């Protein structure tokens, strides 16, 4: 498994798992980052990502993106 932060704009991937403390995993789940969900990388700037998840666009910093494993 590799972190979401390693993917480039235009790539669509499926989430395998989310790691971290319960609060972090809960926060990411509330944003739509759950297992078996498709995520598309829209843009990447300095390791920070803009992502399409479900019907929303979400910006994540590199540390949070590293907790989402593909």
Other CB atoms closer than 10 Å to residue 66's CB: what's the count?
17
Other CB atoms closer than 10 Å to residue 25's CB: what's the count?
17
> Residues 54, 31, 40, 57: is their CA dihedral positive or negative?
positive
pTM (two decimals): 0.91
9-35 mean pLDDT: 96
Residue 47 pLDDT grade (very low, low, confident, very high; cuts 50, 70, 90): confident
**The predicted structure's pLDDT at residue 46:** 86
Range of the domain at 36: 4-69
Q: Integer distance in angstroms from the first to the last C-alpha of the chain?
A: 5
Q: What is the CATH number of the domain that holds 62?
A: 2.30.30.90
The total of structural domains in the chain comes to: 1
How far is Cα 42 from Cα 19, in angstroms, rounded to an integer?
Answer: 22
């Amino acid at each position: 498994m590799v972190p979401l932060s390693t993917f480039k704009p235009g790539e669509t991937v499926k989430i395998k798992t989310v790691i971290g403390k319960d609060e972090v995993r809960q926060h990411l789940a509330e944003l739509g980052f759950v297992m078996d969900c498709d995520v598309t990388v829209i843009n990447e700037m300095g390791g920070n990502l803009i992502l399409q998840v479900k019907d929303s666009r979400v910006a994540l910093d590199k540390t949070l993106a590293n907790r989402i494993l593909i």
